[in-house]
Amino acid sequence: MNRILLPLGTAIVLLLAWHAGVKLTGTKIFPTPMGVAQGLAQLAARRVLGGYILDSLGRALSGYGLAVVFGLPLGMLLGSAPRLAAAVNPLIQMLRPISPLAWMPLAVIWFGISNVAPIFLIFLASFFPIVVAATNAVRNVPPMYLQAARNFGLTESQILRRVTFPAILPRVLVGLRIAFGVAWLVLVAAEMIAVDSGLGYLIIDARNAGKRYDLVVGGMLLIGVIGLLLDVALRRVENLVKG
């Protein structure tokens, strides 16, 4: 019960402090919590708020899903093949520190103002953390597990499916959760430039079009709440796997 009441109480205190701060300062620019709620209600009544949320989720899941499909097998391969890792690792370590947002001008040139550009950026943001997490997880599998499997006559593909993958799964899930957090951050920035829908676009459009700071703050809060819910879901999956 405390896991629910304590965060809820903190949220209520922060909302009251926010409301009091706006009223005491007399600002006409920064909105109250009620003003933000009314602004979001207006978007919901126009039936555009749900579309913004679904567009953002669709791009995030598409880019992240592609990163998992390509990054996880590559990481497992590099973890089990030291020579290949020695050849490829310098390239990965060179590209990994480059912020995905630095690729944004190229993404817009290559893909234009479309869903492909932010999906590409989200893919980059997720791909390298997943590869590194999978590689390190495979390298940390106790050698005795692999040797025991070979003594029982398992083939390399069977060892991969029945020994290596179950052994690395808890560590990989942590890496997947961290990678998704990075992807969600990049999504918002990408939507401010590369597309004309989504929560990131909502924030920049609300500021530019009519200085609707109620919608700016509302978009920020939606991004935070959705990110929290997705992180909670991933943590639950992680805990289920760990047993």
State the first-to-last Cα distance of the chain, in angstroms, to the nearest integer.
Answer: 22
pLDDT at 160: 79
Q: Look at residue 179 and tell me if it is in a domain.
A: yes
Q: Is 198 helix (H, G, I), strand (E, B) or coil?
A: coil
Domain range spanning residue 152? 60-242
Q: What is the pLDDT of residues 140-160, one digit of tens each?
A: 888 888 788 788 777 777 887
Output the six-digit token pair for 69.
Answer: 């499909």
Q: Look at residue 107 and tell me if it is in a domain.
A: yes
- Whether residue 212 contacts residue 139, with contact meaning beta carbons closer than 8 Å, is answered with no
Total domains present in the chain: 1
What ranges make up the beta strands (E) of the chain? none
Q: How far apart are CA 33 and CA 213, in angstroms?
A: 11
pLDDT at 220: 92
Contacts of 11 (CB under 8 A, 6+ apart): none
Q: Look at residue 163 and tell me if it is in a domain.
A: yes
pLDDT at 156: 75
pLDDT at 1: 64
pLDDT at 2: 64
Q: Look at residue 167 and tell me if it is in a domain.
A: yes
Q: For 192, list phi and psi in degrees, rounded to 5.
A: -75, -15
**What average pLDDT values come out for the chain (243 residues) when binned by 10 residues?**
77 89 86 91 91 92 94 89 88 89 87 86 93 90 82 79 83 89 86 83 85 90 91 84 67
103: DSSP letter: G
Q: How far apart are CA 139 and CA 116, in angstroms?
A: 34
Q: How far apart are CA 124 and CA 98, in angstroms?
A: 10
Q: What is the CATH number of the domain that holds 125?
A: 1.10.3720.10
Residue 93, classified by CB atoms within 10 Å of its CB into exposed (0-12), middle (13-18) or buried (19+), is exposed
Q: Look at residue 112 and tell me if it is in a domain.
A: yes
pLDDT at 140: 86
DSSP characters over 71-92? HHHHHHHHHH-HHHHHHHHHHH
